[in-house]
């Protein structure tokens, strides 16, 4: 059950193009499973920015002098992430979490491949650890537009069986996209499960490749979220249910992790004509 | 009401009375708190129950439900604005039958008071919704969201036309259990909100919810197109609080006795107090629940303290207290039009 | 206009063009910039001239002037609100004669373009104001502030009634030099702003200023009375920007060719760009000039950069660009009503 | 001519119930005369607080390593002053000044008395210095509700011929108000000019006493200001002009210093019936 806590910033460090914030957040690490996210209040009581921002939980430390602490990796996109990047030690933050449905882990030690785009690598670290503990082979592919936008290359190496890097400008690793290298990796290792986190376009392509190789895929999506806890209905996308019916489901509570083969990637941003309750009654 | 409005001053103003009576009434609905959730900002209460005990606040006002399941609008459905947000959800929901079976049943089992918000595309649809609710358990009140386009009449919004609004209310009143209080939720996007208020009161409404969102728009400066898939959306949050408060004030001037549920940008107990002083009998916390999932409970606690600090021994004493001395029965509030 | 709206895409979108043509037109008024001040937020330009060269922006829109000297309302006249403020000045001013002699003369000598805002309490008074301005030098355009109560007609605000608004405009048009463009300034506090717009356009207005403040209110939680001496006041600032932008968009949909001066919460060049993309031919910076006395000039500079970054070689290319692809001639914008 | 500058906070120190901020503000100290004020932007670009806050200039240092710097004394009243009190070294502030009409100084060395209520003492320090330089006797009266609300007692002692303190609770100096001790001081020293800064009620009472003793009085008023530069008309109060006509004048540009005998103190917050352009056409 998610909790709302007043966290203290223990540390803010730059990592390439990102900021890594370590925050005390008693109650959250204890419940954490890989794939969970938190939301953070922005700007204080007099701020004109009233919506919380969502971040994947990157690391948790359940014990230690500070009680439970967690790390998030923040890429500066707009006003809220800029404000967060300017926080310093001892600042307090309003944290809600853990939120969302976590990644589902295989019961047995099957070969897995983890794909992260940009800061999308953040939730994959502890996932990799837990998969390794279960005896899974863990191949990792990290991709970004340029080297600066890769996160955690050195650290994830330690928990991965093999790490492949791609950048669109070739500044690090293979020049190209994660999807250029993924089929090869899956073929070579007989990957049974693909875990992916990154931009929607990447997820769609990864899900397609997984389907092609008959692998099970789990994708962590990123939809604009106003509340993060399931009460606003802003974060929906079309997902096919067990009954074969497509519904506009809330990615904050029914996701952010979805089975790649059940998300109707091409129709995100639309209401598919066969979705439950469609068509959107257009008022015009 | 009228007594509370003119009656006593604030007794022992200096002495904080620790045990402010926080009970509140909205027509025949009695609640332990004047703080409710707002429709569309609390789903059906289940998620918020993780953050505070939803039976401790006034009531859960559920997301407006329609006759049939509805997928809503495409994304993007929201956009942050200065001290506010725009939304264009398009009333996504399961439809009244599943709502009654799942959501309402859960709320009743949970012991929460429930104000069911309904929305239709025609007068007839509103009537059918009311009929369905008549036999359902756990309906403590009905809030009629009339900020919907009437598909039969050039898509004019019910809430923007006094007659259309009255038709909806008459129909809902006729189809509902006479014991169930019915509230009409008004839109601020009208020339004369008091006129709409009077019209729905004549049509038999038991109270008014004031206000729904204001129509707004943002253009994404990167795509250079409207930021919302729905082009325009509803503006909510602290940005619109002064507009909402003005609407409550104007309606209280025009209709001294009608129960009012004040909504719009409430963030703190002091914000809630402003609405109560302006004439609201109770308040809904909407958008700020997205900012702080415990907001309704926190607002309740802050309001209790604020009332006690000001020497009020009960919520009802504070209702409309901001009007004291004013000639509240003067028509239209025309005296307060701003000439700038 | 219509050409700009549908004509070219953004040429070499990626290449910033350093020399964006920032000239702008509002009806027959040509200006070196599409950024103006807003009435009541710049006095008559003299104070702002200390912070930037007022001849470099589009024009100074002067504080609405009335026929006679006027003391305005008692204080408190203002109150800060989330991302906005309320004001209730009550049109304090020197009266038209002293205004012409002192303020207008100074502006003319200074070489600034001047849009004179006028306000009356009756149709007749508007006519007299226009007459006075007819013989005065330095009037580049007249903005008719119709958000004033008509003392003759139950204090109904001119801007809230299509007929009353049209009467004012007809009279001003008749009494003015036919070469002087006349703008009507519209209020957002109406059910259908496009209807008012159409009505004043039929009455002969050359352009529309969109929008004036929205009626709002704050209650002081210490005194427990309205925070403003005038009880209600006009809400302005970034809080209302989404409402202002929606009004501009709706009017542009309804009237593809009418010049529009967009106003409401503009703080940055990107905010100004939103208005232009929504259909404004020029914009006024109001409240945010209180926050930053160089705001109009800064917004001009930021807008020039924003346009050039997006590959626009002139302001006019960007006007209404946000509507591209949309069926702009569809009536009423009814399609965009938010059903939440 | 006022300028708008980006100032850097050099120091924030507590002084009793107040915060004293030292800020670089090139261009302002150079033009400063006692009685001038500055306005400060609050909360940054994403703040919901959009109005500047006004503060009397307390001290200026025109030379020095930082160029021109100035000090303001901030009492925490509401949201904006709280934010200001939380600033630290190296933070930047948006400063506009010098604003308003300064105190008028006597040409000759006449006896003066300076009356400050609460932080109202802030603008009196440099005024006292300049009066002393002109050979004036400078008596100072500082009053407040309680000792904590007095500002600068020790420092002002140095520049005053005689210092009298009053507090309403008797925690420091004479128990009572400045107006309880003022007549005595004026009588004893034959004061020719009274300078006052503090709450409206105090100013009204001081002006009345000055009138009684036929002294010239200069009062620094504090009206709610939205712009501080004369463009919004929110800060008006009724003042009698040279022509005997009362006008609603802007305290930010025609004040904040007014002759005490010309302000219609009792009618602040109203439009006197004989004011130019009165009555306020009441729409009801
Ligand atoms: C489940 C989830 C996990 C995420 N994890 C991370 C992470 O680990 N690291 C990281 O840097 N970012 C992460 N994001 C994205 C992050 O939330 C956005 O970058 C951030 O909200 C943008 O805020 P801003 O203030 O910078 O931008 P603004 O443009 O100011 O945002 C305006 C509004 O739009 C919303 N918004 C804008 N972009 C996004 C987006 N991409 N996703 C969701 N909401 C958006 C904001 O929340 C805000 O309400 C995650 C998003 C989601 C939904
Ligand atoms: C010429 C002048 C000089 C001043 N000098 C000082 C000084 O040296 N030290 C000091 O501590 N204070 C000074 N003040 C008062 C100071 O400006 C207010 O305390 C401050 O504006 C209150 O802001 P807030 O954010 O704390 O309160 P809030 O309640 O958040 O303010 C809300 C709004 O009301 C306005 N407001 C509220 N109270 C006042 C007030 N008393 N005067 C003017 N505007 C007000 C604010 O500017 C703001 O726009 C001065 C005011 C003026 C006009
Ligand atoms: C995301 C969202 C969804 C909403 N959905 C509804 C709805 O279904 N029915 C309704 O009557 N009001 C709806 N509203 C309006 C709110 O109930 C409330 O009237 C309005 O937002 C103003 O209050 P606030 O500023 O506290 O949010 C919605 C508001 C938001 C922000
Ligand atoms: C203090 C103040 C005074 C105003 N006075 C006038 C006025 O005299 N005439 C007028 O047409 N509009 C007046 N306005 C409205 C502005 O011109 C503008 O339409 C409105 O404030 C919205 O723009 P903004 O958000 O940029 O301020 C005034 C606004 C403010 C804040
Ligand atoms: S973000 Fe509110 S429901 Fe998902
Ligand atoms: S504060 Fe704006 S005119 Fe004085």
Interface confidence, given as ipTM, is: 0.95
Q: Is the CB of D70 under 6 A from ligand 2?
A: no
Residues with CB under 6 A from ligand 5: A 225-228, 230-235, 250, 252
How are the residues of chain B apportioned to helix, strand and coil, as percentages rounded to the nearest 5? 35, 20, 45
- The residue ranges of DSSP E strands in chain D, in sequence order, are 3-15, 18-24, 37-40, 53-56, 59-61, 69-75, 92-99, 112-117, 138-144, 162-167, 174-175, 193-197, 216-220, 236-240, 246-250, 257-259
Chain A contact set for B51 (CB, 8 A): 2, 4, 229
The CA distance from C65 to C100, in Å, is 10
Yes or no: say if C78 and C88 are a contact pair by the CB < 8 Å rule: yes
Give, for ligand 1, the residue of A20, A35, A77, A236 to mutate: max count of ligand atoms closer than 8 Å to Cβ. Answer: A77
Bigger pLDDT: B9 vs C196: C196
Is the pLDDT at B312 greater than 60? The verdict is yes
Of C83, C330, C334, the CB nearest to A48: C83
Q: Which residues of B are catalytic?
A: 148
The 10s digit of each residue's pLDDT in A22-54 is 999 999 999 999 999 999 999 999 999 999 999
The 10s digit of each residue's pLDDT in D31-63 is 999 999 999 999 999 999 999 999 999 999 976
A96 touches B at CB < 8 Å:
yes
Architecture of domain B24-323: Alpha-Beta Barrel (3.20)
Is there a contact between C336 and A48 if contact means CB atoms under 8 Å apart? Answer: no
The CA distance from B1 to B308, in Å, is 20
The CA distance from B264 to B241, in Å, is 5
Chain B contact set for D284 (CB, 8 A): 330, 334-336
The CA distance from C319 to C304, in Å, is 14
Is there a contact between D48 and B238 if contact means CB atoms under 8 Å apart? Answer: yes
Mean pLDDT of A83-95: 95
Instruction: Determine the distance in angstroms separating the CA of A244 from the nearest CA of chain B, rounded to an integer.
Output: 16
Q: Tell me, letter by letter, the H, E, C secondary structure of A26-43.
A: CCCHHHCCCCCEEEECCC
Yes or no: say if D83 and A47 are a contact pair by the CB < 8 Å rule: no
The CA distance from C69 to C75, in Å, is 18
> Which pTM does this prediction carry?
0.95
Rg over CA atoms, chain B: 19
> Is C148 among the catalytic positions?
yes
A282 touches C at CB < 8 Å:
yes
**SS3 call for B192:** coil
Helix (H) or strand (E) holding B95: none
The 10s digit of each residue's pLDDT in D143-189 is 999 999 999 999 999 999 999 999 999 999 999 999 999 999 999 99
Maximum alpha-carbon separation in chain A? 60
Yes or no: say if D80 and D228 are a contact pair by the CB < 8 Å rule: no
- Extract the tokens encoding D23: 């800020």
Q: What pLDDT score was predicted for residue C132? A: 97
Is the pLDDT at B2 greater than 70? The verdict is no
The CA distance from C153 to A143, in Å, is 69
Percent of chain B scored above 70 by pLDDT?
Answer: 90
Q: What pLDDT score was predicted for residue D283? A: 40
The 10s digit of each residue's pLDDT in C178-230 is 999 999 999 999 999 999 999 999 999 999 999 999 999 999 999 999 999 99
The CA distance from B112 to B104, in Å, is 10
Q: Which chain A residues in 117-136 lie under 8 Å from chain D, judged by CB atoms?
A: none
- Extract the tokens encoding D255: 């004040």
- Alpha carbon of residue D237 to chain centroid: 16
Q: What pLDDT score was predicted for residue B154? A: 79
Point out the least confidently predicted range of A155-169, B241-255, C12-26, C180-194.
Answer: C12-26
Question: Considering only CA atoms, which of A214, A234, A216, A215 is closest in space to residue A225?
Answer: A234
CATH 2.40.30.10 residue ranges for chain D: 3-99
| Cβ contacts of B130 within 8 Å, gap of 6 or more | B118, B142, B171, B172, B174, B175, B176
Chain B contact set for A81 (CB, 8 A): none
The CA distance from A210 to A183, in Å, is 8
- Extract the tokens encoding C217: 């209110």
Q: For chain C, first and last CA: distance in Å?
A: 34
| Fold of domain D103-222 | Rossmann fold (3.40.50)
Please list, residue by residue across C40-52, b when 16 or more beta carbons sit within 10 angstroms of its beta carbon and e when fewer do: bbbbbbbbbbbbb
C40 touches D at CB < 8 Å:
yes
Distance B254 CA to ligand 4 centre (A): 28
Yes or no: say if C261 and C29 are a contact pair by the CB < 8 Å rule: no
Atom 11 of ligand 3, residue of closest alpha carbon: B145
Is there a contact between C289 and D227 if contact means CB atoms under 8 Å apart? Answer: yes
Question: Considering only CA atoms, which of C221, C238, C248, C241 is closest in space to residue C319?
Answer: C248
Q: Tell me, letter by letter, the H, E, C secondary structure of C218-265.
A: CEECCCCEECECCECEEEECHHHHHHHHHHHHHHHHHCCCCCEEEECC
Chains that touch D (3 or more CB pairs under 8 A): A, B, C
Helix (H) or strand (E) holding A140: strand A138-144
Q: Where does the pLDDT of residue C148 fall: very low under 50, low under 70, confident under 90, or very high at 90 and above?
A: confident
Mean pLDDT of B187-216: 97
- The residue ranges of DSSP E strands in B119-228, in sequence order, are 141-145, 149-150, 156-157, 182-186, 207-210, 214-216, 219-220, 225-226
C155 touches D at CB < 8 Å:
yes
Q: Is the CB of D53 under 6 A from ligand 6?
A: no
CATH 3.40.50.80 residue ranges for chain D: 103-222
D79 touches A at CB < 8 Å:
yes
Is there a contact between B82 and D282 if contact means CB atoms under 8 Å apart? Answer: no
Instruction: Kindly list the domain boundaries of chain B, sorted by start residue.
Output: 24-323
Yes or no: say if D84 and D21 are a contact pair by the CB < 8 Å rule: yes
What is the rounded average pLDDT for all residues in chain C?
A: 91
How are the residues of chain D apportioned to helix, strand and coil, as percentages rounded to the nearest 5? 20, 35, 45
How many other CB atoms sit within 10 Å of the CB of residue C12? 9
Q: What pLDDT score was predicted for residue C325? A: 80
* Neighbouring C-alpha atoms within 13 Å toward the C-beta of A149: 18
Q: Is the CB of B146 under 6 A from ligand 3?
A: no
- Extract the tokens encoding A22: 């370590």
Nearest CA in chain A to C337: A283
Q: What are phi and psi of A159, to 5 degrees?
A: -105, 5
**SS3 call for B4:** helix
B334 touches D at CB < 8 Å:
yes
Q: For chain D, first and last CA: distance in Å?
A: 42
Is the pLDDT at B11 greater than 50? The verdict is no
What are residue C209's DSSP bridge partners?
Answer: C185, C261
Could you say which ligand is closest to the alpha carbon of residue C183?
A: 4
The CA distance from C158 to D151, in Å, is 52
How are the residues of chain A apportioned to helix, strand and coil, as percentages rounded to the nearest 5? 20, 35, 45
Nearest CA in chain C to A282: C335
Give, for ligand 5, the residue of A96, A100, A229, A257 to mutate: max count of ligand atoms closer than 8 Å to Cβ. Answer: A229
CA B176 vs CA B111, B126, B128, B273, B311: distances in Å: 22, 11, 10, 32, 40
Of A51, A52, A224, the CB nearest to B75: A224
Could you say which ligand is closest to the alpha carbon of residue A116?
A: 1
What is the rounded average pLDDT for all residues in chain D?
A: 94
**SS3 call for A119:** helix
**SS3 call for A102:** coil
Q: Where does the pLDDT of residue C334 fall: very low under 50, low under 70, confident under 90, or very high at 90 and above?
A: very low
Q: Is the CB of D258 under 6 A from ligand 2?
A: no
Q: Is the CB of B212 under 6 A from ligand 3?
A: yes
* Helical segments of chain D, H only: 79-85, 124-133, 153-159, 178-189, 200-212
Percent of chain A scored above 90 by pLDDT?
Answer: 94
Is the pLDDT at D93 greater than 60? The verdict is yes
D88 touches A at CB < 8 Å:
no
Q: Tell me, letter by letter, the H, E, C secondary structure of B229-284.
A: CCECEEEECHHHHHHHHHHHHHHHHHCCCCCEEEECCCCCHHHHHHHHHHCCCEEE
Please tell me what DSSP assigns to residue D277.
Answer: T
Distance D12 CA to ligand 2 centre (A): 18
Mean pLDDT of B275-296: 98
Is there a contact between C83 and A283 if contact means CB atoms under 8 Å apart? Answer: no
Residue identified by tokens 């990167």 is B222
Atom of ligand 5 nearest to the CA of B43: 3
Chains that touch C (3 or more CB pairs under 8 A): A, B, D
Is the pLDDT at C14 greater than 80? The verdict is no
- Extract the tokens encoding C261: 């001066």
| Fold of domain A3-99 | Elongation Factor Tu (Ef-tu); domain 3 (2.40.30)
Mean pLDDT of A194-211: 97
Mean pLDDT of A134-140: 96
Residue identified by tokens 């996209």 is A177
Give, for ligand 2, the residue of D15, D19, D54, D73 to mutate: max count of ligand atoms closer than 8 Å to Cβ. Answer: D54
Mean pLDDT of C82-86: 98
Is the pLDDT at B7 greater than 80? The verdict is no
């Amino acid at each position: 059950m998610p909790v709302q806590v007043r966290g203290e910033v223990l540390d803010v460090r730059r990592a390439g193009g990102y900021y890594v914030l370590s925050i005390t957040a008693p109650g959250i690490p204890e419940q954490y499973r890989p794939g969970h996210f938190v939301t953070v209040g922005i700007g204080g009581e007099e701020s004109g920015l009233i919506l919380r921002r969502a971040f994947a939980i990157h690391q948790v430390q359940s014990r230690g002098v500070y009680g439970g602490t967690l790390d998030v990796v923040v890429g500066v996109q707009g006003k809220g992430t800029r404000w967060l990047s300017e926080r310093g030690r001892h600042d307090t933050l309003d944290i809600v979490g853990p939120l969302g449905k976590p990644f589902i882990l295989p019961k047995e030690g099957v070969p897995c491949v983890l794909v992260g785009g940009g800061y999308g690598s953040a939730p994959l670290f502890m996932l990799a650890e837990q998969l390794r503990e279960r005896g899974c082979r863990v191949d990792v592919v990290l991709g970004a537009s340029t080297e600066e936008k890769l996160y955690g290359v050195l650290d994830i190496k330690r928990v991965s069986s093999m790490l492949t890097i791609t950048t669109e400008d070739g500044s690090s690793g293979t020049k190209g996209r994660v999807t250029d290298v993924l089929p090869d990796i899956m073929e070579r290792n007989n990957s049974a499960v693909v875990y992916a986190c990154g931009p929607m376009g990447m997820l769609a392509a990864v899900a397609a490749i997984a389907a092609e190789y008959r692998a099970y895929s789990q994708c962590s999506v990123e939809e604009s979220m106003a509340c993060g806890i399931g009460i606003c209905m802003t974060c929906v996308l079309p997902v096919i249910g067990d009954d074969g019916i497509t519904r506009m489901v809330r990615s904050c509570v029914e996701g952010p992790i979805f089975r790649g083969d059940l998300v109707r990637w091409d129709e995100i941003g639309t209401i598919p004509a066969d979705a439950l309750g469609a068509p959107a009654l257009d008022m015009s | 009401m009228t007594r509370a409005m003119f009656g006593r001053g604030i007794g022992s103003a200096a002495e904080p009375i620790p045990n402010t009576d926080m009970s509140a009434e909205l027509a025949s609905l009695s609640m332990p708190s004047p703080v409710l959730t707002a429709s569309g900002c609390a789903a059906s209460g289940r998620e918020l129950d993780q953050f505070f005990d939803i039976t401790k606040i006034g009531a859960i006002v559920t997301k407006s439900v329609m006759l049939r399941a509805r997928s809503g609008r495409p994304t993007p459905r929201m956009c942050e604005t200065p001290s506010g947000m725009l939304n264009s959800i398009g009333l996504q929901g399961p439809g009244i039958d599943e709502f009654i079976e799942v959501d309402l049943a859960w709320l009743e089992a949970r012991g929460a008071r429930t104000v069911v918000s309904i929305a239709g595309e025609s007068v007839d649809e509103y009537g059918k919704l009311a009929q369905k609710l008549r036999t359902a358990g756990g309906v403590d009140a009905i809030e009629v969201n009339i900020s919907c386009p009437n598909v039969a009449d050039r898509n004019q919004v019910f809430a923007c036309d006094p007659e259309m609004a009255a038709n909806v209310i008459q129909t809902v009143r006729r189809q509902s259990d006479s014991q169930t209080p019915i509230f009409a939720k008004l839109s601020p996007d009208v020339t004369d909100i008091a006129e709409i208020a009077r019209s729905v009161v004549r049509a038999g409404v038991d109270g008014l919810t004031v206000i729904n969102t204001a129509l707004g728009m943002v253009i994404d400066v990167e795509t250079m197109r409207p930021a919302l898939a729905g082009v325009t959306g509803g503006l909510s949050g602290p940005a619109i609080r002064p507009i909402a408060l003005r609407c409550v004030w104007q309606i209280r001037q025009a209709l001294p006795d009608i129960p009012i549920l004040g909504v719009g940008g409430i963030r703190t107990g002091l914000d809630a107090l402003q609405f109560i002083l302006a004439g609201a009998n109770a308040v809904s916390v909407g958008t700020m629940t997205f900012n702080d999932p415990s907001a309704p409970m926190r607002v309740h606690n802050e309001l209790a303290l604020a009332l006690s600090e000001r020497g009020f021994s009960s919520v009802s004493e504070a209702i409309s207290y901001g009007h004291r001395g004013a000639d509240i029965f003067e028509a239209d509030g025309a005296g307060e039009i701003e000439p700038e």
